[in-house]
Structure 1
Amino acid sequence: MVLALLLVPLVVQAEAQQGKVVDPNGAAIAGATVTAGNRTTLTDAAGHYRIEGSEAIKVRAPGYARSLPATSGDTVRLTPLLPKALYLTVYGIGAPFLRDPALEVIQTNRLNALVVDLKGDRGLIPYPSAVPLAQKAGATKLRTIPDLQQLVASLKARNLYLIARIVVFKDDLLVGLRPDWAVRSGRAVWKDREGLAWIDPFVKEAWDYSLAVAEEAAAAGFDEIQFDYVRFPDATGLSFSQGATEATRVQAITSFLREARRRLAPYNVFTAVDVFGYACWNYDDTGIGQRIEDIADATDYISPMLYPSSFHLGIPGYRNPVQHPYEIVKLSLDVCKRRTAAAPARYRPWLQAFTDYAFGGQKFGAIEIGKQIDAARDAGTVGWMLWNPRNVYSNSDFRPEPKPAH
């Protein structure tokens, strides 16, 4: 009997770590994500957490900057942060004639964030990724970012909140390498209006590629990983590896987002997803797997693309959306927030900073951009992002800041 007891392995339980998460005024932050290694938990209504493991504690909560590592028992104070961002493509980030003016506009107009393509619409990755599939697919041939960590350090020196945009299922280069993962039309690989092929979102084996790129971005120091084209193509008559119904489409999209959050947990980065503007209004999945209620439980931030020009049918009461940029943004966000009031995700919209292409070619300058920013603020969003696919921004795109009252 004594020998038998000696042979039983001794199991040592890791001591749980406990603490509290508060804002600068000492008020509890409920629902903050606390990470220790690859384990996560959420703070309770009083801001308290308890988590197993001896690793340093990391904390984040939408609307706040990420915390530095803390130790058990600490009261972690998070600093409020509303990102106000410009966007640079895989080309823009490496072109001084585009990047430098954008950074000057950020500084002059008191913006504080930058969205950078780390996997663009055509599948290109602008830095020397170590992901084997990226190299085999030819995705890293551009190399407009010679050293990703050096870039992050230089941008962090400007006190910028950094968002890595990663295009997921629209990937012509990856389909070229793995046509067995492609969306099809009959037996042929299907291509969209730009002549680009897409990955079948049901193929879980393909998910690892974008998630591996996301991990490289997180390891380099990006604060947030924003996934775009996390959807099925908006076309009919397509073939997938399994039957595509609203339920299966929604499950595939939300499952990808949950897996992304799990994989990125050790890095303490925020996750975000871009969604169609009409996803705010449509109570189904818009035929692409984006049902707002389900997405809101699977990510930190939802970024609806609220470009007035993209609302080709307008919204109730506003049939010419470019004439009503405030209403398009504000009412769309109001609908979204009502539908997801009980969910943890917060909203940070994409706003239009490019000339209209659908309703007469109206220029979007300081007035139109300003109305959209006002709408985002009035809707209570966690900041906003300006989209200009040409990466051309100007100080004239912003209204002068009102002078403080004496």
Structure 2
Amino acid sequence: MSARWRAAFGTACAALALAAASCGRAAAGTQTAPATASVQTRGVVIDAATRKPIPHAWVVVDGAAQKVAADGRFASMAGVTVIDARAPGYQRARTPVTGDAPVTVVLTPFRPKAVYLSVYGVLSPVLRDAAVKLQESNGINALVIDVKGDRGMTPYPSAARVAIGAAAKLPVHPAPMRDFAALVAELHRDGLYLIARIVVFKDDPLADAHPAWAVHDAQGQVWRDREQLQWIDPFVREAWTHNLDLAEEAARLGFDEVQFDYVRFPDAPGLRFAEPNTRANRTAAITGFLGAARERLARYNVFVSADIFGYVCWNADDTAIGQQIEQLGAALDYISPMLYPSGFTWGLPGCTRPTADPGQIVRRSLAEAQRRTGLPGVRFRPWLQAFRDYAFDHHEFDADEIRAQVDAADAEHTNGWMLWNPRNRYDPAQLPR
């Protein structure tokens, strides 16, 4: 090793140690840089376009994740044959290690432009193929796929669901796919970035299997929402473990990102939980679960994201559901506010009819989220509306309205965007090109 590299890595190791000390707490499954004398693997993470270092990227060395230094460098005691790396705004990458030479890990900038597929959508060749073809017609380069949907169903036979007694059967065809990993690999070969959506605390089959874990009403009865579905108490750690088992399944299947939805308390008054229903307790439960997810998934080098209510970008409190926006960034690579104009039924100051100006809703909400968190736009990827309005005049959102939302997200420099249509039907003529 040359004198220049020895000097550089001495500085890098010192910087990493200082960063670890200032962090306040280190996640399990992560490590800080070792003393220079013990270094066996060393390198730098750079941007493929600019060739400049990427500060504070993540690398996984021998199953342990660590953040690189501000100059993009990292060092480890472990001797390995590959380095996995990722950073917000980039594709994750795997780089071979040859001998003891320093490794240059190159990450390619990437902005997902995604559409959503439910359990039924991904299992339907018609709907799935139509979504894949949007890559050619509209530049769609990513899919959000239900790994556990709103009704607790999975598109494949999940070992985690069987083990917990919550394997929900699909009521109609198609049947679950036995070799789901093969489909994931095929979609990757098509050049698509794949996001595994996991609905966490809205879980009717899990509540059926474990009634003691369910949310209860003021009379002590199991509570059901407007869809007559049961929820799981977010304070129940056994439910955390189960959902993390499922997230780990998704990582092993080959997904690039695990996205948690319904990672919140139900938005209804008068409910009973295992702990007092206070703001501090709620936010601790949600951030605790997300922190546990980052720890569990660290070795897989997958991105971790979560969906939040649109009004969470604006409300000073946790919106009574445990989502306090200032507390979410530490555990997540991406925060995904649901910025559907139809969801802003109370409007915004100066905007009383959100569906008449959908771009304003998206632009102002993202700007407010960045202001409050201090995070850059690349740490956000919003959900946008590609479905019929349900709150105002019930019209279908057309190409102009969808384009206005996309342009607003682009203007705030987000890490792309995701289009939601519950029927999984996306007309190329109505989508951005």
Whether the TM-score (by the shorter chain) exceeds 0.5 is yes
**Contact 2:164-2:242 at 8 Å conserved across structures:** no
Note if 1:43 corresponds to 2:75: no
Note if 1:293 corresponds to 2:317: no
Match of 2:188 among 151, 156, 166: 156
Note if 1:58 corresponds to 2:84: yes
* 1:320-371 deviation per Cα after TM superposition (whole angstroms, max 9, x unaligned): 0000100000000000011111589800000000010111112101100000
**Contact 2:234-2:286 at 8 Å conserved across structures:** yes
Q: Which residue of 2 aligns with 1:318?
A: 351
Q: Deviation at 1:141? A: 5.0
Specify the code of the residue in structure 2 equivalent to 1:309.
S
Aligned counterparts of 2:383 and 2:180: Cα–Cα separation in 1 = 25
- Secondary structure of the 1:189 match is coil
Specify the code of the residue in structure 1 equivalent to 2:92.
R
**Contact 1:126-1:140 at 8 Å conserved across structures:** no
Specify the code of the residue in structure 2 equivalent to 1:45.
A
Q: Which residue of 2 aligns with 1:404?
A: none
Q: Which residue of 2 aligns with 1:380?
A: 413
Match of 1:106 among 120, 131, 135: 135
Q: Deviation at 1:126? A: 1.3
Structure 1 range deviating more: 23-32 or 94-103 = 94-103
Q: Which residue of 2 aligns with 1:371?
A: 404
**Contact 1:91-1:144 at 8 Å conserved across structures:** no
Specify the code of the residue in structure 1 equivalent to 2:188.
K
Match of 1:77 among 106, 116, 122: 106
Specify the code of the residue in structure 1 equivalent to 2:55.
A
- Secondary structure of the 1:330 match is helix
Aligned counterparts of 1:74 and 1:110: Cα–Cα separation in 2 = 33
Structure 1 range deviating more: 344-353 or 29-38 = 344-353
Pick closer, same or farther for the CA change 1:331–1:132 going to 2, 3 Å: closer
Specify the code of the residue in structure 1 equivalent to 2:303.
F
Structure 1 range deviating more: 183-192 or 221-230 = 183-192
**Contact 1:218-1:269 at 8 Å conserved across structures:** yes
Note if 1:32 corresponds to 2:57: yes
Q: Which residue of 2 aligns with 1:145?
A: 177
* 1:73-119 deviation per Cα after TM superposition (whole angstroms, max 9, x unaligned): 21111000000001000011111222222222232111100010010
Q: Deviation at 1:68? A: 1.1
Structure 1 range deviating more: 341-350 or 302-311 = 341-350
Pick closer, same or farther for the CA change 1:240–1:345 going to 2, 3 Å: farther
Pick closer, same or farther for the CA change 1:175–1:14 going to 2, 3 Å: farther
Q: Deviation at 1:140? A: 5.3
- Root mean square deviation, CA, Å: 1.7
**Contact 2:378-2:415 at 8 Å conserved across structures:** no
Aligned counterparts of 1:134 and 1:140: Cα–Cα separation in 2 = 15
Q: Which residue of 2 aligns with 1:391?
A: 424
Specify the code of the residue in structure 1 equivalent to 2:63.
N
Aligned counterparts of 1:260 and 1:274: Cα–Cα separation in 2 = 14
Note if 1:172 corresponds to 2:172: no
Specify the code of the residue in structure 2 equivalent to 1:21.
V
Q: Deviation at 1:38? A: 3.4
Note if 1:196 corresponds to 2:229: yes
Aligned counterparts of 1:17 and 1:252: Cα–Cα separation in 2 = 37
Pick closer, same or farther for the CA change 1:79–1:145 going to 2, 3 Å: same
Structure 1 range deviating more: 28-37 or 237-246 = 28-37
Q: Which residue of 2 aligns with 1:131?
A: 160
**Contact 1:322-1:362 at 8 Å conserved across structures:** no
Q: Deviation at 1:180? A: 0.8
Specify the code of the residue in structure 2 equivalent to 1:128.
P
Structure 1 range deviating more: 46-55 or 166-175 = 46-55
Structure 1 range deviating more: 390-399 or 376-385 = 390-399
**Contact 2:377-2:412 at 8 Å conserved across structures:** no
Aligned counterparts of 2:125 and 2:71: Cα–Cα separation in 1 = 48
**Contact 1:93-1:145 at 8 Å conserved across structures:** no
- Secondary structure of the 1:173 match is helix
Specify the code of the residue in structure 1 equivalent to 2:279.
E
Q: Which residue of 2 aligns with 1:359?
A: 392
- Secondary structure of the 1:258 match is helix
Specify the code of the residue in structure 2 equivalent to 1:41.
Q
Match of 1:184 among 202, 216, 224: 216
Note if 1:227 corresponds to 2:260: yes
Aligned counterparts of 2:305 and 2:326: Cα–Cα separation in 1 = 15
- Secondary structure of the 1:50 match is strand
Note if 1:278 corresponds to 2:311: yes
**Contact 1:311-1:321 at 8 Å conserved across structures:** yes
Aligned counterparts of 2:162 and 2:210: Cα–Cα separation in 1 = 10
Q: Which residue of 2 aligns with 1:22?
A: 46
Structure 2 unaligned spans of 5+ = 1-36
Pick closer, same or farther for the CA change 1:342–1:325 going to 2, 3 Å: closer
Structure 1 range deviating more: 92-101 or 190-199 = 92-101
Pick closer, same or farther for the CA change 1:330–1:132 going to 2, 3 Å: closer
- Give 1 or 2: higher helix fraction: 2
Specify the code of the residue in structure 1 equivalent to 2:278.
T
- Secondary structure of the 2:94 match is coil
* 1:49-73 deviation per Cα after TM superposition (whole angstroms, max 9, x unaligned): 1234334321000100001144362
Aligned counterparts of 1:217 and 1:32: Cα–Cα separation in 2 = 22
* Percent of aligned pairs sharing the same letter: 52
**Contact 1:21-1:48 at 8 Å conserved across structures:** yes
Q: Deviation at 1:37? A: 3.3
What TM-score do the two structures reach when normalised by structure 2? 0.86
Specify the code of the residue in structure 1 equivalent to 2:46.
V
Pick closer, same or farther for the CA change 1:107–1:77 going to 2, 3 Å: same
Structure 1 unaligned spans of 5+ = 1-12, 402-406
